[in-house]
Every structure is written in structure tokens, then in C-alpha cells.
Chain A
Amino acid sequence: MAQEDTNVIDQPEVMKPRMVSIEISGKKYDVPEGITVIKALWYTGQEVVRGVGCLGGFCGACATYYRTKDDPKVRTCLACQMAVQDGMSFTIMPPFPARKAIYDIQMLKDPKQDLFNLYPEAPLCRNCNACTEACPQKIDVREGVWKAVFGDFKNVSEMFMDCVMCGMCTPVCIADIAPNLVALYVSRAQGAHFAENPKGLDTRIQEIQDGRFNDEWKKILAMSEQELADHCATVK
């Protein structure tokens, strides 16, 4: 099969590999320097089902804890977006059993107040900043939680546009908040309840319902292939 022939670990370092020693879940391996963490897993013969996703830094599936040589600090990354280096140690994060509140976004009466019913732990933030430090997307998560609690939903929704829902902020929270889920609720509430109604969109929906384009459709759909091609060419 073609796909088995494809050598995806085709880094320059693999062609002329400078090998580095790393530790995956406590076991030592030698892998080519510079390949991504996820490729290091494949390189060492490990099949990854949980812990792999879009491979482009958008889906948050490959949330990973890592530590570098001589540094006791455990950091976080997305495994598809991080290159391995000598002495690195890493483990893919298992799914964390955070509680997601269930709500009907359209039926919310007072979304800013409802936050305290849905996520009562949100105002208990103790300002420790562990969530911000854990965020591989560099979001100021702590600030976001505070803004959410103080009702600044607009700002929170902007701050969390980068959030890939990897959930790394959750296990580190000493107040048991799941900041990404709080932010998702806040963003949705902002969109559904506080963003301005786009009038142009309503107008267009009405125009379609009223059949404003029907004559034009009739004309176009009756055209021969050549006529249609010629007509398309006139659209500028």
C-alpha cells in the first residue's frame, strides 16, 4: 500500500539523523532530534489512538506533559506542535474527567448570573495562575476566569478564541474549576445573547423566503451548458 511506503518521519535529521535520548512515559528511547513528540511516538513503534488528532495544533487531542533536561519544571505542549530535544521526558495526558454543565443556550434568562449556577466553582479561583502556566496556547486563563466571574463576557470570548479545548488548565486547578468549559459557556452566551443581531443576514433570509431571486434562478437554470458557461464568465 502506498501509505505504508510513505516515510512520514522524513525529517532532515532522519536522513542524516543526530539521535537524541528521550523518555516516553518513563522508558528511554533514542530518536532523531527535532521530530515532533507525536512522531517520536510513531518512531518508537507505538501506535497512538488516544492522543492523536488533527496534527496541526487545532484540536487539542495531543495534550502532553513534558520536562526538559536538568529542569524540574513540568510543562505542557501539544504533541504535534513540539519538537523533541535531548534529555526530554514526556507523557501524553489522559482524558481528564472534568464536569461539563448541561444547559440550553437559547433558554438562558440571565446568562451572567446563570454562570454561578452552572459552574458554582468559578468564583472560587484562588489566583494561583497554574491554569495560565499550563495553557499551551498562551491564553491568560486566570484573567479569563476572573473576567468571566465579573461578567466581562465579551473580553473572555475574545481571549479564548485560541482555545483548542485540550483541557490542560483543568487538572492543575486547586479550586476544581474547568476554565476551558467555563470559557466555552461564556463565549457561547456572548454569541447567542450579547452580540448584536446582524440585520443584513435577516434581510437576506427574508429575501430568499420572499422569492426575490426566483426570476433570476429561472433564467439561469433554463440555460444551456454553453450559455451558462458564458454567463459565469461575465460575473465579476
Chain B
Amino acid sequence: MDIHALQQIVHSTRDARRKQTIPKFSPAVRDQLIHKYHPDYRPSAYRPIRFGPNSNEKTVVELATLLEGDSLIQNDVDLTPDYTTDVLVIGGGGAGCAAALHAQGAGAKVILATKLRLGDSNSVMAQGGMQISVAPEDSPVTHFLDTLKGGHMHNDHDLLKTMVDDGPAIAKWLIDLGVLFDRQADGNLHVKKGGGSSKPRLLTCSDYTGLEIMRVLKDEVLNQKVQLLEFCAAVELLSDGNGQCSGAIFKDLDNHRYVVVAAKSVILATGGIGRLHIQGFPTSNHYGATGDGLCLAYRMGAKLAHIDTFQYHPSGAVFPEQLVGQLVTEGIRSEGGHLVNAKGERFVNELDTRDVVSSSIIRECEEGRGIRTMSGRVGVWLDTPLLDAEHGPGTVEKHFPAMLMQFDRFGIDISKDPVLIYPTLHYQNGGVKIDTNSETNVKNLFVAGEASGGLHGRNRLMGNSLLDLMVFGKRSGLTAAGRAGSMKQGKLTVQHLQRFRADAKKHGNLSNVISPMVLPAYTRKES
């Protein structure tokens, strides 16, 4: 049936649904639901990694293959440095910019290298907001407990305490740089409530929080004249022969030449993994989100944490096809938008944690209560017009201008018609294991932001990522800079690579891919 006709069930059941309260599931029901329907629990999608620091641990096949991949770099590569610096930041998103600004502010010489343009990242796409406990009824401790609960108690306590404690100072830093957070009438920061949180804690800039923060940070990186290497993709790290990181090799994507950077310390801020399309899921991620940092750090001997768990954001667009995988912000649900199945029923408390909501949506679709599009995709409705009905006409337009415009380009007015959604691959919960200063078990190798792991446990709460990358971007930058004055540049070798290749040989050899992937292979080959 025509999808527009199927929308009618949402309109016709709206008034009845508005009177309903859907209680949150009990812990036992939540667990059962997640184990049955969450993609993290599909055994066929996983396999053990054969060698390296996480040998025998399971992760998704797509990632395992990349981690076991070979480097583009041969043992006899010329390592004469093209650049020398104190701190080398790899990645130009939120964590990378924060790291570079703090490191340079602390007096270190910094080079920021990025695969695409400065600022190109998932950070720029963050719509929902940034969790910081600023409300009087809230506290860093409550933020800690909410996050721990959301992460199924698997979060690294030290990292989490560090993040929630540093949060308010980060908000101050951003405001001083000119970030325009939404305000209350009295000038205080306006806070919204996100899924899985007990208190309103989301700082927002309309539904452009990431864009606004990144506009400012990018501009500041330029103002501070941080040395930039754009369109330079990291293809290998360098080690000093004693297991410490000493720089990196890049491929300049404009001319395909190698660029060698000698650095006293390296901060990997390469982001996540969505473009691997794990388990065939569409993704909300940036084009460059190919998990490069994980491969580089892994070969160097850095241990990964929680790399068997990913976040499937409950609401990825399913229709129109042009928007498949793109996020429909959680803000819609936090303002009261209902999830509605093909029978016109609600089936989950919309503000439960993302994994629970995603699992519920998958359940509805697998049990035949989803709505099928002309191209064969299945999803459930998100009742966006409800927001105008509930809070007055113009609410959607005022609070979600980005989303309104996105759908309007394809002739859909989300303030009048519901949108069809299904979980989309959104975030890599795990990553390279770090300490509270963002350092890995490889000395002088730091990892910040989505590429790092441990903080979010097995499920990340909305709004904690923007804070994560600012806090650990800052800490990595300051620690790396603090070390620069007292240390010498290490030797430039690829000895770790020789070791990795030897290790691979013992375990049945490398997988037949070159990693990191750098960019996804979307270009259509001649058929």
C-alpha cells in the first residue's frame, strides 16, 4: 500500500495515544528484549580476532577483518620526516580540535592532520545536545549514575567520573569561545532531558549543537594558526623501537604521496566506524567514519575495550530513500514524540535507553508490525506532528529546523506527517582503552573521542559523546603538551609492523585487506 495512506493510522490514533502512559520495562524484561533483538547479540555477526592485543576476543566480522589487515607501508619505507612537531593530532573533529587547541595553548608545537577537511567528522552532525550537569537539582554524581545505568554497569568508573566532573568547566570554555547554547529567560543554560537520564541535562544549540560547536572550534583552530595537514590520511603509526609512539605516516589524498611526521606524542582522534556498515546496517555516520584509528593503534600494540558493542540509534530515517540512515534526532522523542507501529500502537517508553528502544523497534518489525516502503525497507512511525499538537503550532519548526529542512527537500513536512524510522548504526561504544589522561598502554600514544573505549560501557547515553570528546580531547592535549618539553623525539621505525606481521604469520596470516580503509568503496564499478 502507498506509504502516505499508511500514515493515516498515526493521525487517527493520536488523540487516544496522548492519554496513554507507557511505563518503562523492568530490568528483567529489558535484558530479555535486548538479548533477543539487539544486533550486538547476533552470534553469527561475530568472530574472534586471531592475533594482536585482543587475540581471541570477539568482535564483528567487519572490524576483525580490518584489525587483521595489512599495512600499506612496507618495512623499507623511507622515514625521513617531512615535518617535526611536539604533538601530532590525527583527526579534525571535535576531539581533534579540542586536543590541538589545548596542546597549542599549553605551549606545544602542534600539527593537526585530517583525512578530509578540518572539522569533517561525526561531531558536526550531533543534533541532540551535550550532557553536562548544570541544573540545580542535578549533580555530577547523578550524571555518573545515569550513565553507568545506561552503560549496563560496564563503564570505566575513573573515566566516567573524570568526564562528569570536568563537564561544567568544558561548558564554560565553549561559552567563552562564543558557542551559543540555548538559554532560559534568566540567562541560565536551558537543559533538556535525554533518553535514559533522570534529570534534564542536555545543553543544546537548537538542533545544531554539533554544528555550532564545530563552527566555533574550527574557526578557533584557524585563529590560533595550528599547523594543518588536510586531505592527509594516516596509514601507519611510527614506533621508536622501544614500544613508544614517535609519529605517523600519512597519504596525501591530493597527490598520493607519503608524508612522514615525527612527533614526540600522537593523539588519535579518528572517530568511529559507521561506514563499515556492520551487519549491513545503514549508518548516520560521516563519510570518513571508517575506524582507521583502531587499526593503527591495534598494530602498535594498543589494547581495545568493548569492541563487541555498537550503538544502533533507534531513529534512522527509512523514507525517503535519499535520507536512509540519516538521524532523526532523539530530541523529537525527548519532547514527547511517540513511536507507533503499523497497528497504531505505542510499544515502548520512548525515553528508555537507546538499546532498549532500538530493540523494541526491531521486535515490532520482525514480528510483522512494521511498515514496508516501496523499496522493501521496514520501519515504524515516529509521530512528529504530535509535537505541534502537544506544545502548540510551530513547535517542530522552532525546535527542529534542521530536520524540518532535511525532509522538506524531499517534499515531506514533518510537522504535518509522521516519519518512518528504523535503527541506524550510530556509534562505536568501545574503542582503544585509555586512562584518565587519554593515554593508551602504548606510551605517548593518546586516543580521544569516539575512537577511545571504556567510558560508555556497553551503551552510550544521548549527549555524552560531545562531552566525552571535549573532556578527553582537552586532557590528551594538555598531557601530551606537558610531556613535550621534557622528552626527546624518539626514533622513527616501523618495528611494530614487523612484529605484527610475524605475529599474524603464526596465526594463519593477515586478512587479505589493506587497513585502515581510509574511505568507503561506494564508487560503482563497471558491471
Contact = CB atoms under 8 A, between A and B. Distances in A.
Contacts of B142: 235
A10, A43, A137: residue with the most chain B Cβ atoms closer than 10 Å? A10
Interface stretch (B208-216, B260-268, B413-421): B208-216
Contact of A47 (B327, B406, B523): B523
A10 B523 CA distance: 13
Contact of A232 (B139, B149, B176, B179): B149
Given A162-B402, A191-B175, A58 B124 contact: yes
A53 B285 CA distance: 10
A42 to B, nearest CB: 5
A190 interface: yes
Interface in B45-89: 61-62, 65
A105 B177 contact: yes
A94 interface: no
A53 B120 contact: yes
Contacts, number: 228
A198 B175 contact: yes
A82 B410 CA distance: 8
A192 B222 contact: no
B153, B218, B523: residue with the most chain A Cβ atoms closer than 10 Å? B523
Nearest to A185: B219
Contacts of B223: 102-105
A201 B183 contact: no
A74 interface: no
Interface string B374-408: 11100000000000000000000000011001100
Contacts of B455: none
A228 interface: yes
Given A102-B225, A138-B405, A188-B178, A213 B153 contact: no
A191 to B, nearest CB: 4
A188 B405 CA distance: 24
B145 A235 contact: yes
Nearest to A35: B322
Interface string A203-231: 11100100001001100110001001101
B222 A102 contact: yes
Given A105-B177, A208-B140, A12 B321 contact: yes
B499 interface: no
B286 A59 contact: yes
A196 to B, nearest CB: 3
B188 interface: yes
Given A35-B322, A81-B409, A200 B216 contact: no
Interface string B190-228: 000000001000000110101110011011101101000
Nearest to A188: B178
A56 interface: yes
Nearest to B122: A54
B190 to A, nearest CB: 9
Interface string B502-527: 00000000000100010111111110
A28 interface: no
B100 interface: no
Contacts of B524: 9, 42-45
Nearest to A212: B139
B461 to A, nearest CB: 12
Contact of B139 (A102, A106, A213): A213
Interface string B140-154: 111011101100010
Interface stretch (B276-284, B298-306, B469-477): B276-284
B523 A200 contact: no
Contact of B375 (A3, A10, A235): A10
A134 interface: no
A4 B181 CA distance: 40
The 6 closest A-B CB pairs, nearest first, are A188-B178, A196-B187, A191-B178, A12-B375, A192-B178, A232-B149
20 contacts: A1-B521, A6-B277, A9-B524, A42-B522, A50-B254, A54-B120, A56-B125, A57-B326, A57-B406, A58-B210, A100-B222, A161-B205, A162-B401, A187-B180, A187-B215, A188-B178, A199-B187, A201-B188, A233-B27, A235-B198
Interface of B: 27, 61-62, 65, 116-117, 119-120, 122, 124-125, 133-136, 139-142, 144-146, 148-149, 153, 157, 161, 165, 168-169, 171-172, 175-181, 183, 187-189, 198, 205-206, 208, 210-212, 215-216, 218-220, 222-223, 225, 231, 253-254, 275-278, 280, 284, 286-287, 321-322, 324, 326-327, 373-376, 401-402, 405-406, 409-410, 513, 517, 519-526
Given A198-B134, A200-B134, 19 more contacts: A3-B517, A3-B521, A49-B231, A49-B253, A56-B406, A83-B322, A157-B180, A165-B215, A188-B216, A188-B219, A191-B216, A195-B180, A198-B175, A201-B189, A202-B172, A205-B172, A225-B153, A231-B145, A233-B27
